[in-house]
Amino acid sequence: MKKRIEDLTVTQNRRLGEGFFVINASSSQGLPDILPGQFVQVLVTDSPATFLRRPLSVHDVDMSTGTISLLVQIAGAGTERLSRLNPGEKINIIYPLGNSFTLPLKGERVLLVGGGCGMAPLLYLGRKIREAGIEPAFALGFRNRSRILDHDELTKLGEVFLATEDGSEGYRGFVTDLPQFRDKDWDRVYCCGPEPMMKAVAAACLRRGIFCEVSLENLMACGIGVCLCCIVPTTSGNLCSCTDGPVFNIRDLKWQISG
């Protein structure tokens, strides 16, 4: 798939929760094919403290309007600047980057697990899974009620199970404690979120022999496989998260987890 550098036009910037935004931006020439799990590198302008582009997961894609959605968590000056983008402003992005999730086969039971900003790639993945004729379920974990992100779009695609660490909404505990995660025989689990959460999900899946892919959010400079900064130790050596990932099968990762 050919990568592009392109100026997109911001069409909407919507607050999703405390410190979280969804930016919609459209391409005047139409979008290239984008796979679920891929990401973009966004140039941040008018932010003197920001030197590098910011890698952001593709949250959603609407081919009919040529619109891509990016979920942004304010983590520093660069993402803070992005959160203040207004409709009509241009953003320069390099895309589509990285590999993608492996789509499930007909009849498989599929769970998409996310926490916080890790919800970012799950919407588009869920949409693609739904298009393939499978109804996905979602398990979302948040610290507490006030940190829950708007997930109406996910609800349209499949059942959503919520867990909060303090029990202020949904099940009390981590996503891995959810009965719907623990007790059901899932064929595939896809996960994106904070590393401790992904490792807990990966350990449970390894133990139960469930196919599991995770999407990593490593620090990176270039996003196109030349700086070698975003490496991930795998059974095939150090691989670039930006070109060999960001999606990895947990069996290929050298995570210190036991099944």
Q: Report the interface residues with other proteins, using CB under 8 A.
A: 2-5, 43, 49-53, 94, 218-222, 224-233, 237-238
Residue closer to other proteins by CB (options 140, 230) is: 230
Measured distance CA(5)–CA(55) in Å, rounded = 14
Residue with tokens 């099968």: 249
Residue 156: CB minimum distance to other proteins, A: 35
Read off φ and ψ for residue 118, nearest 5 degrees.
-65, -10
Question: Nearest distance from residue 124's CB to other proteins, in Å?
Answer: 22
Count CA atoms closer than 13 A to 227's CA, side-chain side. Answer: 12
Residue (of 190, 245, 248, 242) closest to 54 by Cα position: 242
Residue 130 CB contacts under 8 Å (≥ 6 apart), including other chains = 136, 157, 158
Whole-angstrom distance, CA of residue 131 vs CA of residue 156: 13
Q: Which residue, 52 or 132, has its beta carbon nearer to other proteins?
A: 52
Nearer to other proteins, 49 or 105 (CB): 49
| Smallest distance, other proteins to C-beta of residue 92, A | 9
Q: H helices within 18-67, ranges in order?
A: none
Nearer of residues 10 and 222 to other proteins, judged by Cβ: 222
Beta bridge partners of 10: 25
Q: Smallest gap, in angstroms, from Cβ of residue 241 to other proteins?
A: 9
Q: How far is the CB of 255 from other proteins (least distance, A)?
A: 13
Residue 55 or 104: which CB sits closer to other proteins? Answer: 55
